[in-house]
C-alpha cells in the first residue's frame, strides 16, 4: 500500500474549510483547525446548517477533493515513471555486452510531484463560539448547530432569525424597484406585499422555536406542539414553571399587540388572510368584517419584532430550575 502524505494549511485566521456530505445540503463552513484536530471526534461531526451527523472523514470540500486527487495522480504518475525507469535501465544494462541485441532507453518528460499544502478559501467575517464546548467556527449566513457537539443555541438562532427578518423588511423598497424592472409595477407590489405578510409568519415561527428550546433548557420538559404560537398558553407555561409569565417584561399594550398579530399570522397561515368569525371572536377586532382580507404593513411587523426581541431577552434571563 502506498501512503501519500497530505498537508493541510489553515487560512489566515486559523480556519479549515469543511462541507456537509448530505447531498441535499452541501453547506460549507469553516472551523478552527486546532479545534478540528483537538476537539472534534472521528465518529461524529454535525452540519451547522441541517444538523446532519457523519464521521470526520466525510467532510471534504469539492475543492479539497480536487486538490487531493491531483496530488494523488501526480504522485502515482511520478512513482510509475520512476519504477519504469528502473526496469528499463536494468534491461539496458543487461544487453550492453550482447553482440547481437542491445536495448537503449531514453526517459521522456517526467511528471513532477510537488506535495504543496492544501490551502483554504479566504477567511469570512462571521465567527461563532459554541456556548457548550467552546469550538469556534465561521459561516456565511445562518448556522444552527455546533459542528463539534451539535449544540443548538436558542439565543443565537433567535437573534439571527430576527435580524434576517429586519434586513428583509429594510430591503422591501429596493426589491420593489427590482421586481418592477423585471416584471411590472402591479406584480412588484403583489410580491412585496407577500414578503411582508410572510415575514409575520417568520416572526412567529422564530419565537416558537426559541421559546420551545428555552422552556426545555429551563424546565427539562417538552411543551406540547404549537403551544408557543399562542401567547396566553406560552405565558402560562412559564408562569407555572417559574412563577411569572410574559407580563414580567411586557406592558399590557405589548402583550395585546402580540396576541393580535399572532392571531393574524394564524389567519394568513390557514385562511390566506381572509377574516372569519373565529378570528373576530378571538381578537375582538372591529376594523374588519367577515370575508375581508387582512392588511399587514411593514411598520406593524417591525413593531412585532421589537416586542419579540424584548420578550426574548426576558426569557433568556430565566435561570434553569434546579432539581431538589
In this structure, the answer to whether residues 147 and 173 fall within a common structural domain is: no
- As a whole number of angstroms, the distance between CA 178 and CA 46 comes to 38
Lowest mean pLDDT: which of 115-129, 201-215, 234-248? 115-129
Domain end marker among 124, 152, 180:
152
Confidence check: pLDDT of 72 > 80:
no
Higher pLDDT, 282 or 157: 282
Angle between helices 252-271 and 298-316 (to 10 degrees): 120
Do 137 and 158 belong together in one domain? no
Q: What percent of the chain has pLDDT over 90?
A: 63
pLDDT at 104: 62
Co-location of 171 and 299 in the same domain: yes
pLDDT, average across residues 34-59: 95
Q: What is the mean pLDDT of residues 75-82?
A: 70
Summarised one tens digit per residue, pLDDT across range 117-154 is 455 666 777 888 998 999 999 988 778 899 999 998 88
**For 186-195, what is each residue's pLDDT tens digit?**
999 999 999 9
Residue 154's pLDDT is 80
pLDDT for the residue 108: 58
Whether 106 and 171 map to the same domain: the answer is: no
**15 and 111 part of one domain:** yes
The per-residue pLDDT for 113 is 45
Chain centroid to CA 227: 25
Task: Show which of 105, 129, 152 is a domain's final residue.
Answer: 152
Model pLDDT, residue 148: 96
* pLDDT at 125 (0 to 100): 75
Residue 7 dihedral angles phi and psi, to the nearest 5°: -100, 130
- How confident is the model at residue 155, as a pLDDT? 82
Q: What are phi and psi of 28, to 5 degrees?
A: -100, 140
Position 322 in a domain = no
Is the pLDDT confidence value at 324 over 60? no
pLDDT at res. 83: 66
Report yes or no on 272 lying in a domain: yes
Which triple of cell numbers denotes residue 31? 472551523
Give the integer Cα–Cα distance in Å for 46 and 146: 7
Comparing 140 with 53, the larger pLDDT belongs to: 53
Same-domain pairing of 145 and 159: no
CB hemisphere CA count around 184 (13 angstroms): 1
- Supply the pLDDT for residue 110: 55
The grid coordinates of residue 92 equal 539496458
Segment 40-65 mean pLDDT: 93
Same domain, 104 and 164: no
**What pLDDT, on a 0 to 100 scale, did the predictor assign at position 174?**
93
**132 domain residue, yes or no:** yes
Q: How confident is the model at residue 208 (pLDDT cuts 50, 70, 90)?
A: very high
pLDDT tens for each residue of 79-127: 767 666 676 667 666 666 666 666 665 665 655 545 454 556 667 778 8
Q: What is the DSSP letter of 27?
A: -
From 92, 121, 152, give the residue that closes a domain.
152
Is the residue at 321 inside a domain? no
Shared domain for 1 and 96, answered yes or no, is yes
Structural domain range at position 99? 1-152
26 and 99 share a domain? yes
State the chain's mean pLDDT as an integer.
Answer: 87
**Which residues pair with residue 19 across a beta bridge?**
28
8 within some domain: yes
Q: Let me know whether 12 and 49 are in one domain.
A: yes
pLDDT higher for 176 or 1? 176
Number of domains observed in the structure of the chain: 2
- Same-domain pairing of 178 and 36: no
Beta bridge mates, 137: 31, 128
Cα dihedral 290, 291, 292, 294 in deg (nearest 10): 80
Residue 243 has pLDDT above 70, yes or no: yes
**144 and 251 co-located in one domain:** no
Q: With respect to residue 323, please indicate whether it lies within any of the assigned structural domains.
A: no
What is the arithmetic mean of pLDDT over 25-45? 94
Distance CA 310, CA 282 (A): 24
Greatest Cα pair distance, the chain, in angstroms, is 115
Amino acid at each position: 500500500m502506498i501512503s501519500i502524505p497530505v498537508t493541510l494549511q489553515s487560512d489566515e485566521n486559523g480556519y479549515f474549510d469543511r462541507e456537509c456530505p448530505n447531498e441535499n445540503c452541501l453547506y460549507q463552513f469553516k472551523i478552527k483547525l486546532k479545534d478540528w484536530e483537538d476537539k472534534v471526534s472521528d465518529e461524529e461531526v454535525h452540519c451547522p446548517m441541517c444538523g446532519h451527523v457523519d464521521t470526520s472523514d466525510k467532510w471534504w470540500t469539492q475543492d479539497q477533493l480536487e486538490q487531493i486527487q491531483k496530488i494523488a495522480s501526480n504522485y502515482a504518475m511520478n512513482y510509475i515513471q520512476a519504477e519504469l525507469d528502473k526496469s528499463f535501465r536494468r534491461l539496458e544494462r543487461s544487453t550492453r555486452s550482447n553482440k547481437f541485441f542491445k536495448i537503449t532507453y531514453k526517459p521522456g518528460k517526467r511528471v513532477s510531484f510537488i506535495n504543496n499544502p492544501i490551502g483554504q478559501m479566504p477567511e469570512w467575517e462571521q465567527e461563532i463560539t459554541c456556548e457548550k464546548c467552546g469550538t469556534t467556527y465561521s459561516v456565511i449566513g445562518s448556522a444552527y448547530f455546533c459542528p463539534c457537539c451539535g449544540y443548538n443555541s436558542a439565543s443565537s438562532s433567535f437573534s439571527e432569525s430576527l435580524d434576517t427578518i429586519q434586513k428583509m423588511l429594510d430591503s422591501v423598497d429596493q426589491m420593489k424597484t427590482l421586481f418592477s424592472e423585471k416584471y411590472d409595477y402591479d406584480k412588484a407590489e403583489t410580491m412585496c406585499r407577500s414578503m411582508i405578510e410572510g415575514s409575520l409568519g417568520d416572526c412567529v415561527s422564530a419565537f416558537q422555536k426559541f421559546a420551545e428550546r428555552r422552556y426545555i433548557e429551563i424546565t427539562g420538559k417538552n411543551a406540547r406542539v404549537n403551544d408557543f404560537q399562542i401567547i396566553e398558553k406560552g405565558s402560562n407555561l412559564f408562569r407555572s414553571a417559574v412563577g411569572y409569565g410574559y407580563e414580567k417584561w411586557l406592558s399590557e399594550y405589548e402583550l395585546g399587540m402580540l396576541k393580535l398579530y399572532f392571531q393574524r399570522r394564524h389567519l394568513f397561515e390557514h385562511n390566506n388572510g381572509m377574516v372569519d368569525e373565529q378570528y373576530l371572536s378571538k381578537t375582538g377586532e372591529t376594523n374588519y368584517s367577515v370575508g375581508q382580507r387582512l392588511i399587514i404593513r411593514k411598520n406593524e411587523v417591525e413593531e412585532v419584532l421589537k416586542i419579540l426581541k424584548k420578550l426574548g431577552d426576558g426569557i433568556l434571563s430565566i435561570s434553569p430550575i434546579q432539581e431538589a
